[in-house]
Structure 1
Amino acid sequence: MTIPARDLLETARRELAPGPDDNRLVPLVAAGKAGREVLGALAGEQYRIINSDWRSFLTLAARGGDGPTREFFAGLAHGEGLVLPKLVTFAAACGMDEAALREYRPRAGCQAYPAYVAWLALNADPRDAVLALVANFAAWGEYCGAVARGLREHYGFDDNGCAFFDFFASPAPEVEQQALAAVQTALDAGWDSATALGYGRLVQDYELMFWNTLAG
């Protein structure tokens, strides 16, 4: 009998979840102990990540072999387009205009994450990429929620300045339903999730590398 997609997603999230002390930067921002220059670097790195992931998700949508997989990645790409202006607003609150964002010199440890997502877009079975990426979304959302609270409580950022992080911290039931549909379609077709879980572990490792590179 085919296992339900929801069970597989919950198992993947549980197995791939980071430990409470694995991320060194988010607790610093949440407590107001990170320097403002770190916030600017966060904006600069994310500017490149959002633009890169947008293209990667469109590539995965184009490569998807079934409708639900294509819809999932097309939805993610649409979200990147929606959130990019919010990132520019966050950067402005950090004292960086778009020229400064474009001129920012990224760090290899931060850009390893989007480089790996781009690798998945070109090399992975898109069905594997669905599970690998969606398993990481819960941790990313929690990090963004903690950063948003820290920005408001300790750095004086208003709702506009926090909107980038609020976007990812907010529940996204449509994305969840699209992910479930894509995974269930794959399972019904006899897809094996073992490779996807391996990809997911690397996604999580690169995610932590991003934050911890900024933590110094």
Structure 2
Amino acid sequence: MTAAAQELLDAVTAELAPDAAANPLVPRVADGTANRSAITALALEQRSVIPADRRSFLHLAARSADAGETECETFFRTLAEGETLAFDRLGALVAACGVDKAGADAYEPRAGCQAYPAYVAWLALNGAPADVVLALSANFAAWGAYCATLADALPAHYGFSQEACGFFAFFAEPAPDLERQALAAVGAGLGRGLDATGSALRYGKLLQRYEAMFWETLADPARGL
């Protein structure tokens, strides 16, 4: 079952991999041509995204526990713990953008950026846990790659300190424990009849589209890129 779960995870991740042109912002940060205002907006949007995702993951963990899906519960609790650690690193990024607490609290999140956590909340209420594990795992591959690029580019082109980039470095780091937990959850899901061509794949496609919408909103020229 482990081999089948790995094959399924690899196949879905490959199928859902975003096109190189799907992210209009990160490549411009990578070459130093993005406006700092877009980077500031990215940091401020995450102040809403991270706590929302954490609550969604905790709800998914509780649903998994109620259903006796212990492998899924473990995966989602690890995700929630990770969001807590990421949020602890976010303050340094916001400060490096020159935004104080009052300014951060006054920031108005953009609908296009908050569509992703809104959909994760929908999944927390409606998605079968194993389906959500598979969809999220595929999406995280793209997110981690974006964060790795940002962690390298912000110090090189914008003078950000390593501490300020800790938020992105955290998500860019390999997470072997989480990968093992995802594999266990997907394997258990296969034993219960998980069908990757059904809900899991649809969830993953929507997550990738909302992910793209996040970056497109930040890169909107009218918003100051």
Asked if Structure 1 and Structure 2 have the same fold, meaning a TM-score greater than 0.5 normalized by the shorter chain, the answer is: yes
Within a 5 Å distance, the mapping from 1:54-203 to structure 2 comes to 54-64=54-64, 65=67, 66-193=69-196, 194-203=198-207
Residue 176 of structure 1 aligns to which amino acid in structure 2?
E
Local SS of the residue matching 1:21 = helix
Question: How far does residue 163 in structure 1 lie from its aligned partner after superposition?
Answer: 0.4
Question: How far does residue 96 in structure 1 lie from its aligned partner after superposition?
Answer: 1.4
Residue 63 of structure 2 aligns to which amino acid in structure 1?
R
**In the alignment, structure 1 residue 214 sits paired with structure 2 residue 203:** no
Question: How far does residue 200 in structure 1 lie from its aligned partner after superposition?
Answer: 0.2
Question: How far does residue 3 in structure 1 lie from its aligned partner after superposition?
Answer: 6.5
Match in the other structure for 2:37? 37
- CA distance in structure 2 between the aligned counterparts of 1:99 and 1:127, rounded to whole angstroms: 40
Q: Deviation per CA, 1:53-101, whole angstroms, max 9, x where unpaired?
A: 0000000000012111000000000000011021111000001133322
- CA distance in structure 2 between the aligned counterparts of 1:121 and 1:37, rounded to whole angstroms: 32
Residue 195 of structure 1 aligns to which amino acid in structure 2?
S
Q: Deviation per CA, 1:157-187, whole angstroms, max 9, x where unpaired?
A: 1110110000001110011001000000111
Local SS of the residue matching 1:76 = helix
Question: How far does residue 190 in structure 1 lie from its aligned partner after superposition?
Answer: 2.0
**Kept after mapping to 2: 8 A contact 1:93/1:161:** yes
**Kept after mapping to 1: 8 A contact 2:2/2:183:** no
Question: How far does residue 191 in structure 1 lie from its aligned partner after superposition?
Answer: 2.2
- CA distance in structure 1 between the aligned counterparts of 2:22 and 2:3, rounded to whole angstroms: 31
**Kept after mapping to 1: 8 A contact 2:24/2:216:** yes
Q: Deviation per CA, 1:92-151, whole angstroms, max 9, x where unpaired?
A: 000113332222101111000000000000111111111111101111001001111110
Q: What are structure 1's unaligned runs of at least 5 residues?
A: none
Q: What are structure 2's unaligned runs of at least 5 residues?
A: 221-225
Counting aligned pairs with the same residue, the percent is: 56
**In the alignment, structure 1 residue 24 sits paired with structure 2 residue 28:** no
Local SS of the residue matching 1:28 = helix
Aligned Cα RMSD in Å?
1.3
**Kept after mapping to 1: 8 A contact 2:2/2:184:** no
Give me the TM-score of the superposition, normalised by structure 2: 0.93
- CA distance in structure 1 between the aligned counterparts of 2:81 and 2:101, rounded to whole angstroms: 21
- CA distance in structure 2 between the aligned counterparts of 1:7 and 1:189, rounded to whole angstroms: 17
Give me the TM-score of the superposition, normalised by structure 1: 0.97
- CA distance in structure 1 between the aligned counterparts of 2:2 and 2:57, rounded to whole angstroms: 27
